[in-house]
A and B are shown apart, each in its own frame.
Chain A
Amino acid sequence: MRIRHPAAIAASEITPRALFDRRREFLRASAGLALSTLVPQAEARLGPGKPSIYSTSEAPTPLKHVAGYNNFYEFGTDKEDPAQYAHALHTRPWTVSIEGLVQKPKTLGIEELLRLAPLEERIYRLRCVEGWSMVIPWLGFPLATVLKQVEPLGNAKYVELVTAAQEDTMPGVKRHVLDWPYTEGLRLDEAMHPLTLIAVGLYGDVLPNQNGAPLRLVVPWKYGFKSGKSIVKIRFTESEPRTAWMKAAPREYGFYSNVNPEVDHPRWSQATERRIGEFFKRRTLPFNGYGEQVAQLYAGMDLRKQF
C-alpha cells in the first residue's frame, strides 16, 4: 500500500486496528524490560511521563479492565458498550473552548493543549459511585495549567465542564438517559487543586477513546462520574452549575460527590468497595484516601448535607 502523506496521518489511523492494538500490547509488555529501549517508540506512545509525588504505590488495574469496563453512557449504558463502540469517536480535529467569566477567552486545539505542560504520570485510585474501584496510571497535567491560560475574573467561583455529544458516533445520545451533553462542575478551588488532572493518556499511551479521549478530567477524591470525559468546553461561572446527574436524580447526586463512606447513596451503601480484580471488598476511605490533601477544602461544611 502506498501512503501519500505519511506525515499528516497518525499511525493509529493507518494501521489496522487489530494490528495496532497488538503492537501496543507488545510495546506495553516490553516496557518494563530493557528490551523496550531497542523497540522504536510508536507515535501513539506519549509516556512514560514524569513521576509524581501524588502517585500511589498500589498495583495498577490491568489495562484490559481499565479499557474494557467503563461507564460512558454516550456509547451505551452497559459496561462493555464503550469499548465496543468508542472506536468511532472523532478525536481530531479537537478543540476546547474556555469561556465565561474570564479575562481572555480562548479556544485551544488539542495539539496546543498537549504542549502546555510536561506530561506527568499520576497513579490514582478511582472510586465509582456504584461501589467498585480501580488504580489507574494516568498521563496528564494539572487542570490549573489550563485554567491559568485565560485569567479568571474575580467573580468566577465555579467551572463547568461540557463534554462531547457526537450524534454520529455516540449511539447513546439518541436516547434520553441523561440530558446531553453531559456536564460536570467543580468549585474553583477544587479545579485549581494540584491533584485535579487533565488526562490525555494512560499506561503510557494516548487515552483509549472509551476512557475519554482525547482529554478528560480526573478528580481522584470524588466519585468517578465527576471526572468528565472527552471535554469540549470549560466555562467559568459565578453560581454553582447543575450537573447532568444532579438533573437526572437531584436526591441521589449532589454537586460535591466527594467519596464518603459515611454518606450512603440513597439506594446502596458506600461503606465498602470492590477493587476490580479482588475477591474481598475493601473499606472505602474518606475522600478516597486523599483526605490529607483535600479535606481542608471542605472545612466547616456539613458533608452530609452538601454531598
Chain B
Amino acid sequence: MNQAWLKPPIFIASLLPLAWYLWGLQADALGANPIEAVTRGLGTWGLNFLLITLTVTPLRKYSGWAWLARLRRMLGLFAFFYVCLHLTTYLWLDQFFDWTAIVKDIWKRPFITVGMTAFALLLPLALTSNNAAIRKLGGRRWQALHRSVYVIAMLAVLHYSWMVKADLAKPLLYAGLLAVLLGLRIGWRVRERNRQRNAIPPAKTRHTIPIGVRR
C-alpha cells in the first residue's frame, strides 16, 4: 500500500497553527496581549509536534501502518520549526535583541535556561534529519544521537511547568502524555530484553554473559 499522497496534506495541516497566528495578528483576533499569545502559542505547538513525533512509532507498531514511519522526520522538523519561531518571538518581541539582557535571562531564569538547553539539544537533531547525515553517522550512532529527543521533551515540559504561576494542570497533562509515550518504550525494551534472555540457553551460564552481548 502506498500512502505517499498523505504527506503533502499533512505538511499543509502542520502549517495551520502558524497560519492561525499570522491571521490572528493582522485581524486583531488574539486578544489583549497578542504578542504573548503568539509566543506561547508557538511554544505550545513546538511541544505538540515533539509529542506527535513521539507518537508515530507506537502508532505504527499497534496499527501496523508501516507508512507512518515516513512522516516522522517531517513532523520532527516541524517541532524544530515551531521552536525556532518561538525562540525568535522571545528574542525579538520579548527582548528586542538586547543581547546582554538575553544572556542574563538565560543564565538567571531556570525556565529560560531549561528552554534554551532543550533548543540546543534539538539543533543537532534537526541538522542530522536527512539521509546524508544518517549515512555519514551510521544507523547506530544516528539512533543513539536521536534518543536525546526524550530528554528534550522532558526539558520542554519542565520549561512549561516552571513558567506557570499556579495552575499546573496543562503542564501536568503534557507530562502525563509524555510519561505514557516513554513508558511504552521502556515496556518494549524490557520485553525485548526478556525475550533475548529467554533465548539464551541454561541458567548456569547466564551470569557470565557480559551485559553488552545481551542486546
Contacts and interface: CB of A to CB of B under 8 A. Distances in A.
Bound together: yes
B31 A80 contact: yes
A269 B33 contact: no
A44 interface: no
A267 B105 contact: no
A149 B9 CA distance: 69
B35 interface: yes
Contacts of B105: 269
B96 A276 contact: no
B109 A77 contact: no
Interface stretch (A9-17, A65-73, A198-206, A284-292): A65-73
A267 B109 contact: yes
A118 to B, nearest CB: 31
B32 A267 contact: no
A132 B166 contact: no
Contact of A178 (B32, B93, B162, B166): B166
Given A248-B166, A267-B163, A69 B31 contact: yes
A80 B30 CA distance: 11
Interface in A105-147: 130, 132
Interface in B139-167: 162-163, 165-167
Interface string B27-58: 00001110110000000000000000000000
B21 interface: no
Given A269-B105, A280-B96, A79 B32 contact: yes
A24 interface: no
A64 B32 CA distance: 8
B96 A132 contact: no
A69 B167 contact: no
Contact of B32 (A77, A276, A280): A276
Given A267-B110, A268-B109, A274 B35 contact: yes
Interface of A: 61, 64-65, 68-69, 73, 77, 79-80, 130, 132, 175, 177-178, 248-249, 264, 267-269, 274, 276-277, 279-281
12 contacts: A65-B32, A69-B31, A77-B169, A249-B166, A264-B108, A267-B163, A268-B163, A269-B105, A269-B109, A274-B36, A276-B32, A280-B96
Interface of B: 31-33, 35-36, 93-94, 96, 101, 105, 108-111, 162-163, 165-167, 169
